[in-house]
Structure 1
């Protein structure tokens, strides 16, 4: 699920991202910088993850479906969904899972 940050209405200085019941138990919190020579290769695992794009633009694949994402977007990844990220420039993003 891709939640576009630019489509969320700000309320009292905050942007609420609705996750439709997805529950993520945090086992790790990682800030990543991805560049053309350093893609995050497609993989899958049993726990869900949340990816938040801090800045830049990237291409995310979810079960083979390609999505363009940009700063402010949130990607909610269900368990066993094959997922990866690459970019033609640089993207800074957070992985919580």
Structure 2
């Protein structure tokens, strides 16, 4: 839908979306479902989805991106690290991550960790993840 001038109301769930993800030592083993994204849905201004980290070891390695990001923990518990500061997060917790802040997330519990995330950009593809050792 690139080039759309107007957005439309969209209702989306993970059952209607394809699982994407990484299983890579430098990036982690996170998976996600892109719910709203201008190149997939008639939406603009924001992109959002659900990220999942597997029990006991799921991880999104430290990284940065230009855009700020919001996390909302929908299910589970884990450790969110932002610019070196670790915080335990659990269902009902929200976090604002400033643009270019280094952050990572790990699931150290025996249950699935599900995070709703939002970026202030039309397309998820506009978010360039920069991991150490990949040119950061």
Bigger Rg over Cα: 2
After TM superposition, list the pairs within 5 Å mapping 1:1-97 onto structure 2. 25-26=45-46, 28-35=47-54, 36-89=56-109, 90-97=112-119
Aligned residues: 72
Stretches of structure 1 lacking an aligned partner (at least 5 in a row): 1-24
The alignment's C-alpha RMSD in Å is 1.2
Say which structure, 1 or 2, has more relative contact order (CA 8 Å, 6+ apart).
1
Once residues 103 and 74 of structure 2 are traced to their aligned partners in structure 1, the CA distance between those partners, rounded to angstroms, is 18
Name whichever structure is richer in strand by fraction. Answer: 1
Deviation at 1:83, TM superposition (A): 0.8
Structure 2 counterpart SS, 1:95 = strand
How many Å separate the matches in 2 of 1:38 and 1:69? 14
Q: SS at 1:47's partner residue?
A: coil
Q: Offset of 1:88 from its aligned partner?
A: 1.6
